[in-house]
Structures are given as structure tokens and as C-alpha cells.
Amino acid sequence: MKNAVKLLDVVALTVNLPECNLWRGQVGTVVEILAEGKAFEVEFSDRSGRTYESLGLRADQIMVLHFEPVSGDIAA
């Protein structure tokens, strides 16, 4: 998998999770790899660095954010 989610990747939610008060587009950090890379513990923090939610998410619920140019062969 070329675009594998890695520890400490910055990710954004691709789904709404109203039961957790989290909404599509909110940004978090991967803090643990779960289920042999099929799920990830993602921590959501405020601007002061205080964690307000931490939960396990499947790969299809997040997308990795890129801060540098990436090659065109990354799957959408």
C-alpha cells in the first residue's frame, strides 16, 4: 500500500461522528497503529495541545494530510 497511514501522521476525518462530537474535516494525529494497520488510534487536540477526544478509527474514516508535494500515483 503506497499511501499507508503511519504513526504520527496528521489526518482528517472523512466522516461525521456526532456521537463523539467530531465532524468531517476535523484534524487529528495518529498515535497508535491498531489491528495490524487496519485501524488507528487518533488523538484530537485543541490549539493549546489539550486532547479533547481520542478514539480508534478505520482507515476509511480518515485521510492523511500532505504538507509537501506528492507524486500523482497516490490513490484518491
pLDDT of residue 14: 98
Stretches in the chain below the pLDDT threshold 50: 1
5 falls within a domain? no
32 falls within a domain? yes
22 falls within a domain? yes
The pTM of this model reads 0.85
CA distances from 4 to 14, 42, 74 (A): 16, 15, 10
Q: 18 lies in which domain range?
A: 10-64
pLDDT of residue 47: 93
31 falls within a domain? yes
Query: How many distinct structural domains can be found in the chain?
Result: 1
Distance from C-alpha of 51 to C-alpha of 75, rounded to nearest angstrom: 30
pLDDT of residue 1: 44
CA distances from 37 to 48, 49, 60, 76 (A): 29, 26, 12, 19
19 falls within a domain? yes
Cβ(58)–Cβ(39) under 8 Å? yes
Q: Would you mind telling me the total number of residues written for the chain in this entry?
A: 76
